[in-house]
A = this chain, B = another copy of it.
Amino acid sequence: MTTTPDKVTAAVMIIGDEILSGRTQDTNLNHIAKYLGAHGVDLAEARVVPDVTEEIVTALNALRAKYDYVLTTGGIGPTHDDITADCVAEAFGVKLYEHPEILAMMSARWGGELTPARRRMARVPEGGELVKNPVAGPPGFMIGNVFVMAGVPQIMRGMLEDVGWRLKGGAVVLSRNVRVDGSGEGVIAEPLERVARAHPDMSLGSYPFFGPEGYGSNLVLRGRDAGELAATVDELVAALAAAGIGTITVDVPAEA
């Protein structure tokens, strides 16, 4: 997971007791993963951490040192359990200040009603830049290589649109799919591994499915070189056919 000139990496840090208690099913990770992939950035790791200062600061400092970017979700609302801004400031060793642009935005919306709780949402670490919120409420922010976004999925997705243009994208990762029906991984494994070993720059994964309609596996090939990817798909299909595997379909949309 080290960074090479044509590989840009990121980590996602999901902040919130509600994910760890099982109360909420996270969907932000999957959305961010696809978004980063489309921008040529590899999501290399994700962590879910509780609403505890020490845990957030430690994880953030580990991740921002290791990867090109860190994207966080959650904990930027007005309530006492929203401590993300405080933790990011502590991790960077800077102070929080009330951003005049956010205060002006809030005053325009809420008039005289700027409660201390709402003012909490105007706080940004020194040296931070705003990340626009096209949906509702105050913006997120970025500082260094860290993007801080809301946890509510509709708002997070809106903020993410103001993140992509700031990423120095690597080459976009291309993906192909070879679907095998009626054969299990026990039969697929040998030809798959042989082809994978011949193409160390490609990533080949096997994702089995089974259900009332039958069973099989989706073999997903990913890589940055379109020519080598196409050649790898051809070799894999030939190797599977030589192993007597019956139904092979290339590039049908993957299910499951």
Residues of chain A whose beta carbon lies under 8 Å from any beta carbon of chain B: 1, 17-27, 29-37, 42-52, 55, 77-81, 110, 113, 115-118, 120, 136, 152, 173, 175, 185-190, 192-193, 196-197, 203-208, 210, 220, 222, 254, 256
A23-B254, A45-B47, A79-B206 known; A115 and B187 CB under 8 Å?
yes
Contact indicator A22/B48 (Cβ below 8 Å) = no
Copies in the complex: 2
Contact indicator A45/B34 (Cβ below 8 Å) = no
Contact indicator B50/A48 (Cβ below 8 Å) = no
Closest Cβ neighbor of A173 among chain B residues: B21
Closest Cβ neighbor of A204 among chain B residues: B81
A185 and B138 alpha carbons, distance in the complex (Å)? 13
Contact indicator A50/B186 (Cβ below 8 Å) = no
Residues of B within 8 Å of A46, CB to CB, are 19-20, 47-48
Please pick, from B187, B188, B222, the residue contacting A21 in the complex, using a CB distance under 8 A: B222
A117-B189, A189-B80 known; A22 and B37 CB under 8 Å?
yes
Contact indicator B188/A79 (Cβ below 8 Å) = yes
Residues of B within 8 Å of A17, CB to CB, are 203, 205
Contact indicator B22/A77 (Cβ below 8 Å) = no
A24-B207, A48-B45 known; A186 and B37 CB under 8 Å?
no
Contact indicator A1/B80 (Cβ below 8 Å) = no
Contact indicator A43/B18 (Cβ below 8 Å) = no
What is the CB-to-nearest-CB distance from A167 to chain B, in angstroms, rounded to a whole number? 15
What is the CB-to-nearest-CB distance from A130 to chain B, in angstroms, rounded to a whole number? 19
Residues of B within 8 Å of A24, CB to CB, are 30, 207, 256
Contact indicator B78/A1 (Cβ below 8 Å) = no
A45-B20, A51-B205, A254-B23 known; A80 and B193 CB under 8 Å?
yes
12 pairs from A and B in contact (CB 8 Å cutoff): A1-B52, A17-B203, A18-B205, A20-B45, A21-B33, A22-B33, A23-B207, A24-B256, A78-B189, A79-B193, A117-B193, A118-B186
Residues of B within 8 Å of A175, CB to CB, are 21, 23
A175 and B190 alpha carbons, distance in the complex (Å)? 49
